[in-house]
Structures are given as structure tokens and as C-alpha cells.
Structure 1
Amino acid sequence: MTTVLAPVAGAALALRAVPDPVFSQGLVGPGLAIEPVREPGRAVAPIAGTIVKLHPHAFVVVGDDGRGVLVHLGIDTVQLRGEGFEVLASEGDRVEAGQPVVAWNPAEVEAGGRCPVCPVVALDAVAEAVTRIADGPVDTGDELFVWT
């Protein structure tokens, strides 16, 4: 069982509400999304493990059990080419759950015409494996869902 923490503060949303079919249709896996608060903040590691992919707008942490969790900071934010994001860790780093990975400002993402919603995905999991799903407001580091 893996407890996945909220990487940012905001309101938990179903993935189907994300305005991107890759996430809304669960193509990369089940999970939740967070409508982030519109203030500067830091996205934290949702689980303890190793950062296997790190872009300014997205990262994947793989736990010791081999399970990977994707955090995507906004939709179409790859187009920003890192502008407005500050990477606070490196690929290959071992991180603890709750450790800051990327600093960003959702309000700036939104002002630039992009959706700041943050999908948090249990990569390659079956939908039934995601349980105890958060609903409503979450703070950074709160339990978002459990991957069984």
C-alpha cells in the first residue's frame, strides 16, 4: 500500500475534470487532480523514493516498491519551457514524501492562458487500486489517495 500525498494545496478534483484527454481518460493511470490555490508555492514529492524524471513542469517519483507517481503542474505547461518554474531537486535524487521538488506560481500559469490544475497519477495502475480518495480542500502534504 502506498499513501500518495497532495503535492500542492487546493481542491481535490476527479481526473475526468482535467481539460486534457491524456489525464481525463486515465490513459497514464488513475489518480486525482488538484485545483491549486493561486499563490506562489512549492510542489512536494507525493511519495518517498527516487526522482526518475524531472522537468520544470512535471516530475515522477518512484518508490522502493517500483510504483511511480506523476505530478504534472498545470496543463500545456510544457510550452512554457521552464519559465515560471524553479527546480529544487535533480533527477536521481532520493526524496522523502513532502520534500519540495519544484517552486511555481499557479496564478502566473493561469495569467499566461494555461490551466493550472495539477494531475497526480498512479502510473500504470488499475483504477480499482486507487482508494481513500480525498474530496474538497487539501493542504500540501495531506493524504490525497491510497494505492493498494
Structure 2
Amino acid sequence: MFRKWFGRNNDSKDTLTVIAPISGKVTKLEDVPDPVFSEKMMGDGIAIDPVEGKILSPVEGRIVQIFPTKHAIGIQAKNGVELLIHIGLETVSLNGEGFNIYVSEGEKVKQGDLLVTFNLNFIKANANSSVTPIVITNSNEMESIILQAANEVKAGEDPLLTINK
């Protein structure tokens, strides 16, 4: 009842701050050169053009999926927000080469935990792009997704998104 009068409490369990999982240049999802992401078929989000090959957990939560080809990882935050981090475009065809995974499905993670490392030069040479979409796969259940980042972000340090459930 009071929420209706005074608005949403930003410290609520319904508000999630997503920290940048990778360092690099922030790019609109609409500008990603792949229609699956740019047309938001998998959900809304943002992308980062990486400057290093290291993915950190953007939230506290649980690993719900690791693709066999190691190019993508799914995380469910404690409040139910589902995030997919997809390293590069058309990287599934690399069959896991150039990627190292440091977590397993079902594992609980804290914000900033190391999830994946990858050889950025190898990805740039062998994939369509190194741009890394971060997608909220259940974005249709969210009230709002607000970009917090400037043009460049540092993994594990800079807020990327605020999501209100």
C-alpha cells in the first residue's frame, strides 16, 4: 500500500544493479550486427565490445546454463532476473576453442567472480565479431531496464544496468 504512495524503494529486492561483466565499449543491442540480438528476439539488454578476454559475474546468483561450446553462459540473479552473456557473434562454430570456463552449472556466484576467460585475438580472427551481448532473457517480466554506463566500462567495477522487476 505504501509503495503506491511513496514510489519504489531503490534498495528493494525488486531492483537489481548489474555490474559490467567485461571491460570495453558499451554498444546498444540494436547496433549488434546479428538480428537475433538487434531485434531483441532473446530479450532486451546491452552489448560490450571487449578490450580484454575476461568475464566476471555481473550479479550475485546461480549459473543456470553453460553452453557446451563455452561461448555463452546463463545466470539467474537472486531476485529471478535471468541474464545471458554471449561472447562474440557466431562463436558457437569455434567449438569451445579459445574459451576457458571457471564455474559449473548450478554453482552459486557472487558479483565479480571469474566466470570465463577467452583469447580475444583468436575470437577477433575467427568469429564474425567479438561484441558481447548481455541479454535479460526474461525482460518481458521486468518493469524497466535502465542503462547506467557511459561509453566505456571496467569489468567488476562499473554499473551497467538497473533492472526493476
The answer to whether TM tops 0.5 is yes
Instruction: Please tell me whether the aligned partners of residues 34 and 119 of structure 1 are also in contact (alpha carbons under 8 angstroms).
Output: yes
Please state if 1:2 is matched with 2:16: yes
| 1:131 aligned residue (129, 142, 146) | 146
Scaled by the length of structure 2, the TM-score of the pair is 0.83
Q: CA RMSD of the aligned region, Å? A: 1.4
Identify unmatched segments of 5+ residues in structure 1: none
Residue in 2 aligned with 1:34? 48
Instruction: Please tell me whether the aligned partners of residues 36 and 116 of structure 1 are also in contact (alpha carbons under 8 angstroms).
Output: yes
Superposed, 1:102-141 pairs within 5 Å as 102-126=116-140, 129-141=144-156
Indicate the structure (1 or 2) with the bigger Cα radius of gyration: 2
Query: Partners of 2:40 and 2:148 in 1: how far apart?
Result: 15
Instruction: Please tell me whether the aligned partners of residues 44 and 137 of structure 2 are also in contact (alpha carbons under 8 angstroms).
Output: yes
Q: What's the % identity of the aligned pairs?
A: 38
Which is bigger in relative contact order (C-alpha 8 A, separation at least 6)? 1
Residue in 2 aligned with 1:23? 37
Matched AA of 2:88? G
| 2:160 aligned residue (136, 144, 148) | 144
Residue in 2 aligned with 1:45? 57
1:27 to partner: Cα distance: 1.2
1:90 to partner: Cα distance: 0.5
1:133 to partner: Cα distance: 3.4
Deviations 1:3-38 (A, max 9, x none): 11111100001001111111101111111100111x
Query: Partners of 2:56 and 2:19 in 1: how far apart?
Result: 9
Count matched residues.
146
Post-superposition, which runs of at least 4 consecutive aligned residues in structure 1 deviate over 2 A? none
Identify unmatched segments of 5+ residues in structure 2: 1-14
Query: Partners of 1:105 and 1:12 in 2: how far apart?
Result: 20
